[in-house]
Amino acid sequence: MSDFARWLQDLVSRVFYAAFGFLGDVFIFLVDMVLHAVLVLFSLLSFPFENISLQAALDMLPPGVWFFIGHFQLPACFAALGLAVSFRLARKVITFFQW
């Protein structure tokens, strides 16, 4: 009788593992469909500054925005973040992606 109980327990556990695997696949499928719908929606939108350079778009910012960019020192912040990312990537390349 214990062999039958072990077989039944194994069967039930495999059914639950299969059900959880199926639910995981369904979740991934639904996320894929939602992201695809978002991508389609974004492709339908038109960007208002398609024919404008980045400099021209930045020149259109109001003076108040430029004040806060200078006050919070955003260029220095972005430079520090860029340096940190560059250092991390260089460290990984130098150590052959072992660290």
Separation CA 88–CA 99 (nearest Å): 10
Q: What is the pLDDT of residue 49?
A: 64
Q: Which pTM does this prediction carry? A: 0.43
> Tokens 């492709």 appear where?
43
Q: What tens-digit pLDDT sequence spans the chain (99 residues)?
A: 788 899 999 999 999 999 999 999 999 999 999 999 999 998 888 777 677 888 888 888 999 999 999 999 999 999 999 999 999 999 999 998 886
> Tokens 């250092």 appear where?
87
> Tokens 């339908």 appear where?
44
Separation CA 57–CA 49 (nearest Å): 7
